[in-house]
Structure 1
Amino acid sequence: MPPELGPLVRTLALPYYEDALPAHDSFHANRVRDLSLRLANKCETSVDRDVLSAAAWLHDIGRPRERTGEIDDHNEWGASEATALLETEEVEMTTDQIDAITHCIEAHSIRSSSPDPETIEAKLLFDADKLEATGARGIVRLACIVGERSGRTGEKHAVIDNSTVTDLEASNHPDVTLLREWAAERLEKLYTAPGGRLGESRWQFMNEFFTRFDSEIGVDGEK
């Protein structure tokens, strides 16, 4: 795979993110790329970093279309669109390399309809994408996803509160603990040892954050 593939794929991917909301925009794709390569550097298995980088840039190109209802599955559509993009560019890329990239895209989601990641590149991309929903940055991103889902349905998706520490009647919507549950679900599914180690650190921070969050709701006991 030629050295210029990374910048080329970035250029190809960016237009697809122009209408993306913050949780799945080009900045997210760039962070997933950086994190997946960081995990690859700590991986004992040989990793094709060109495949991994290309897949990271392309993994969410279908998100804006899925959000507006143009497509049903951004994984499947994104893999097909990526194949078409990579086959039309004048670069020396084998069918195996294209297949490796599209498999990463198809397998990056936690949805039950998504295939399991089978290659080290697909597992690293999966882990990096899930870790993007953990830690300090992940809390902000998960809150964005709540807003994104609320905007899509036209109804409130969750309340930013914790019904277990207030004297108000519980809402019929999920409360802020939903963010903790979403993060835990993703951390339980990580495939790689480097991803697991980073996940443990980020989970510790999230627990500390939610403890502080709960204490701030009960303002009477705050100093």
Structure 2
Amino acid sequence: MTPPDWRKSVVEYIRVEAQPEDKFGHQPRLYALASTIGEDMDYDDDVLFAAAWMHDLGVFMGHRPQDPAQLSQWDHVPYTIRMSRELLTGWGFPHEKLAGVAEAIGCHQAKDDPTTVEGMLLRNADILEQLGAIGILRAAVKVGRDTRYPNFSSILPVLNDAVNRLANKTRLIRSKTMAHARAEVLRSFLIAVHDEAGDMLH
């Protein structure tokens, strides 16, 4: 089945706007993860696809503030919801589903409590993306590029938080199983870092 034209527009837009470039892979992985978690569940795939691909628009360079002080206070979600509504409308996304996309994007973070199936799927998938080998890569790539993480030692608290807290935040059975496996990968990595570097990681 040929995907609707609006889906092509979403992918093409995010492919260009996802900057730095390594941020692009998060979107297709997130949609694939959410779809896997949602097997045998009743959800709107249009809403899930749009929300998964658009949910991080406000964290991309060119969309977020450049000033460090403003960036430290930046909440990308309201911006992302507003821009997603405008862009999706222009691409021919079904108008009656826009509210569902906004709800899923608005509740996609671990701290949130989604009220829709699509929101739950997106939130659980986003947690999984912070665990395992992918979680390690996504954290490590920020070293030296993000002012919050000047060296390798600065990302260890992020990874420790992921394995000790986030791994227990998933709420759906399939995502819990996947989170456990990914948490073990991350835990093994952190143990290896400690064994190899001790307090000399920097």
- Aligned pairs (5 A) from 1:1-223: 3-4=3-4, 5-17=6-18, 19-20=19-20, 22=22, 25-41=23-39, 44-64=40-60, 65-66=63-64, 68-69=66-67, 72-91=74-93, 93-95=94-96, 97-110=97-110, 115-150=112-147, 157=149, 159-161=151-153, 174=154, 176-217=156-197
Write the letter of the residue equivalent to 2:128: L
- Structure 1 residues 215 and 27: CA distance shift in structure 2, 3 A: same
Structure 1: how far apart are the matches of 2:155 and 2:81? Answer: 34
**SS at 2:140's partner residue?**
helix
Structure 2: how far apart are the matches of 1:46 and 1:67? Answer: 38
What's the CA shift for 1:159?
Answer: 4.5
State percent identity of aligned pairs.
24
Structure 1: how far apart are the matches of 2:129 and 2:92? Answer: 33
- Structure 1 residues 103 and 158: CA distance shift in structure 2, 3 A: same
Give yes or no for contact 1:158–1:176 (8 Å, CA) kept in 2.
no
Structure 2: how far apart are the matches of 1:128 and 1:100? Answer: 17
Give yes or no for contact 1:104–1:122 (8 Å, CA) kept in 2.
yes
Structure 2: how far apart are the matches of 1:144 and 1:138? Answer: 10
Structure 2: how far apart are the matches of 1:147 and 1:67? Answer: 19
What's the CA shift for 1:142?
Answer: 1.6
Give yes or no for contact 2:139–2:155 (8 Å, CA) kept in 1.
no
RMSD, aligned CA: 2.5
Give yes or no for contact 1:10–1:54 (8 Å, CA) kept in 2.
no
Structure exhibiting the larger radius of gyration computed from Cα positions:
1
Structure 2: how far apart are the matches of 1:147 and 1:193? Answer: 37
Structure 2: how far apart are the matches of 1:158 and 1:186? Answer: 23
Cα deviations across residues 177-214 of structure 1 (Å, max 9, x unaligned)? Answer: 54222343322322322111100011111222222222
Structure 2: how far apart are the matches of 1:63 and 1:21? Answer: 12
Cα deviations across residues 44-92 of structure 1 (Å, max 9, x unaligned)? Answer: 431222211111110111112225257732111111111111222335x
TM-score, scaled to structure 1:
0.74
Listed as ranges, the gaps of 5+ residues in structure 2 are none
TM-score, scaled to structure 2:
0.81
Listed as ranges, the gaps of 5+ residues in structure 1 are 162-173, 219-223
